[in-house]
Homo-oligomer: A and B are copies of this chain.
């Protein structure tokens, strides 16, 4: 049985870029401190929202280094480390462990489609053996809409049986509540975190341990209120916060998430460079941007002030 994970509210952290598409480390460090000061328990940097796969391994290592150098606690980090190639995944995961990361969020190898659970099991085993560090805590990343490589219950079961102290949980970004709640029920001690803000309170009640979401980049104060009120047992206050959070989530529906959230932060910080996304993503156009701003304003949500 794995040790229960700490859980809580993790932002799927955006990666701010300069106009030439290079990473703006200073802006990223600022953003991370702001998130930690406004409700986030942890930072899932370098996930899908953070455009991780658009960066080289060297750029990804440099991002984690910059955060540590910038005073972000290693223990608050859950970097995305799952690549198509085992050597890349090993290198990024070992580096996260060396920096004291709370865990790593690990996509399965995602180029080949229709691969077997035998193949995915072999890939995860090879990574774990090569990292060879008992401090490694893996959160499996289930996001079939993007990776086209689902994490099945059968795979989780086999991995937990072989590596009970390493397989810490799963981020479920499928939006399929039955799948995430079912995993929390089926595998006690396996930390299921939802990728869907609107399902946070429901999953906490069903045994999940928290969330890793894109909207936490702009609304971690709300998700933190859901979580705190769940912990203290104030269900009325929890549901009030959940409703506000779900309204923010609804305002983002249909918007490309990384570009849309960067647009919102750019407006909040009055820094147009924040709008930059690396191709193949594209910035919102003027109409999309205005529409998003209007829908967000209609929710009444206020982003916490920046220093």
Number of copies: 2
- Range class of the A interface residue count: 35 or more
A282 to chain B: closest residue by CB = B119
Q: Confirm or deny: A126 has a beta carbon within 8 angstroms of a beta carbon on chain B.
A: yes
Q: Nearest Cβ distance between residue A266 and chain B, in whole angstroms?
A: 19
Contact with B along A91-135 (1 / 0, CB 8 A): 100000000000000001111110110111011001000000000
Residue in B55, B88, B278, B281 whose CB lies within 8 Å of A56: B88
Q: Confirm or deny: A146 has a beta carbon within 8 angstroms of a beta carbon on chain B.
A: yes
Q: Nearest Cβ distance between residue A186 and chain B, in whole angstroms?
A: 23
Q: Verify B55–A112 contact, CB threshold 8 A.
A: no
Q: Verify B57–A57 contact, CB threshold 8 A.
A: yes
Q: Verify B126–A21 contact, CB threshold 8 A.
A: yes
A123 to chain B: closest residue by CB = B279
A55 to chain B: closest residue by CB = B85
Q: Confirm or deny: A87 has a beta carbon within 8 angstroms of a beta carbon on chain B.
A: yes
Bound CA span A88–B85, Å: 13
Residue in B53, B56, B86 whose CB lies within 8 Å of A279: B86
Q: Confirm or deny: A300 has a beta carbon within 8 angstroms of a beta carbon on chain B.
A: no
Chain B hits for A282, CB < 8 A: 115-116, 118-119, 122
Bound CA span A143–B219, Å: 39
Contact with B along A125-159 (1 / 0, CB 8 A): 01000000000000000000111110000000000
Q: Verify A280–B108 contact, CB threshold 8 A.
A: yes
Q: Confirm or deny: A59 has a beta carbon within 8 angstroms of a beta carbon on chain B.
A: yes
Q: Confirm or deny: A5 has a beta carbon within 8 angstroms of a beta carbon on chain B.
A: no
Q: Verify A281–B87 contact, CB threshold 8 A.
A: no
Bound CA span A11–B174, Å: 38
Contact with B along A264-307 (1 / 0, CB 8 A): 00000000000000111110000000000000000000000000
Bound CA span A84–B107, Å: 14
A109 to chain B: closest residue by CB = B280
